[in-house]
């Protein structure tokens, strides 16, 4: 199972982000836009995890979530990773979000799950440049700079399985494998 742990913004926030993106040019064939139903903020990418690990992993993720308290976030601004990925940024309680990411990763490691060790950079992936294209993402980044959603209260995290696309040009399918409240116990 290919798994990741994430925060999913509420529907009104996703709709606002979708409306903002509709004002950006979408005709560049080198840019592959992500689908709004797949938008999330990854806390930890776990990669391939044996199904037999799932009971222990979900128990530990529930404990990690239970130790965290709800936090306010907003989607704001944008940027790019290298020249291949366009993203929307995250503002608000980023320090607490970072600690939650560390706690989630530690829970996975205790189950002997290899966690992606890249530094945590909270974002929502909006688009990717296909292949070695020469698409310049800077105009998109500039247009995203003034974007900001209202803050919302993050109350839970989720564990998701990423299934392969159902066909060429289709997005991956994310299936929820568990959701846990941030209760601060």
Residue numbers annotated as active site: 40, 123
The count of other CB atoms within 10 Å of the CB of residue 5 is: 28
β-pairing, 156-163 vs 2-7, is antiparallel
Phi-psi region of 39 (alpha: psi -120 to 50; beta: other; left: phi over 0): beta
Contacts of range 135-140, beta carbons closer than 8 Å, 24 or more positions apart: 135/28, 135/30, 135/31, 135/83, 136/83, 137/31, 137/80, 137/83, 137/86, 138/80, 139/25, 140/24, 140/31, 140/78, 140/80, 140/86
Spatial CA neighbour of 23 closest among 82, 92, 78: 78
180 touches 66 (CB < 8 A): yes
Q: Look at residue 130 and give its three-state secondary structure.
A: coil
């Amino acid at each position: 199972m290919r798994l990741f742990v994430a925060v999913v913004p509420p529907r009104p926030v996703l709709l606002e982000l979708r409306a903002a993106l509709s004002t950006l040019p979408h005709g560049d064939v080198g840019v592959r836009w992500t689908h709004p139903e797949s938008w999330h903020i990854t806390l930890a990418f776990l990669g391939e995890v044996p199904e037999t690990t799932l009971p222990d992993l979900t128990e530990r993720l529930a404990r990690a979530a239970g130790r965290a308290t709800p936090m306010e976030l907003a989607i704001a601004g944008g940027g790019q990773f290298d020249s291949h990925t366009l993203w929307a940024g995250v503002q608000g309680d980023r320090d607490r979000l970072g600690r939650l990411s560390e706690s989630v990763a530690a829970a996975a490691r205790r189950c002997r799950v290899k966690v992606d060790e890249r530094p945590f950079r909270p974002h929502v992936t909006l688009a990717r440049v296909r292949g070695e294209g020469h698409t310049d993402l800077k105009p998109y980044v500039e247009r995203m700079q003034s974007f900001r959603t209202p803050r919302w209260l993050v109350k839970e995290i989720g564990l998701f399985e990423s299934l392969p696309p159902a066909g060429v040009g289709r997005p991956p399918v994310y299936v929820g494998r568990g959701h846990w409240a941030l209760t601060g116990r």
